[in-house]
Amino acid sequence: MNTPAFTVWLTGLSGAGKSTIAGRLAKALQDRGVSRLEILDGDEVRRTLSAGAGFSREDRDAHIRRIAHVCRLLARHDVTTIVAAISPYRETRAFARDLIDNFVEVFVDAPLGVLEQRDPKGLYQKVKQGRIQQFTGVSDPYEPPEAPEVVCRTDREEVDESVAKILAALETRGYLATETDDSYSPEEAAQIQARLRNLGYL
């Protein structure tokens, strides 16, 4: 089965798990035969394509538009892309969706209190200390997706469960060939199905 290039766009607050899911998803897709694949991490792109940009609404929007245009160019060359970027505004994410074919939006969600406890980069602590201004979700707005293709609740599910939900969405849309049950042991398949059923996705 020939499948088209697609873009998985992971949006959510800092520390929600976007980069972790992106890395695990990339591995899963490569295992499924998706060889032409790139990850665009929002922080890395900001240091390169958006070097010197600030954190105003205009700068944030320009940053996301740059990522979207790169995704479109990669798709033209049959490269699947995983984006891990906060991308806080619905309007700009809608711009990306309109620009890119085969677009799958994934809301990586966790309560702010959980993120403050995780704080892998120490950013929330710096916000509390007044050392960071215009921080999305605290002092700057984040507009959650209203109708994403997938919602990953990283405070309730393991990374592999989040990845399984994304893979299922890609299969449903014909972007990924359906995997046979032989890919997992019966015990693993039963566990994943049970967890997805408990979360309301089956």
Residues marked active site are found at 87
User: Pick from 66, 115, 93: which is nearest to 10 by CA?
Assistant: 93
Bridge pairing between strands 37-41 and 80-84: parallel
Task: Mention every residue, 6+ apart, whose C-beta is less than 8 A from residue 164.
Answer: 192, 196
* Distance, C-alpha 88 to centroid of its chain: 12
DSSP state of 146: S
DSSP H/E element including 84 = strand 80-84
The answer to whether the CB of 29 falls within 8 A of the CB of 175 is no
Task: Mention every residue, 6+ apart, whose C-beta is less than 8 A from residue 71.
Answer: 7, 40, 81, 83, 96, 99, 100
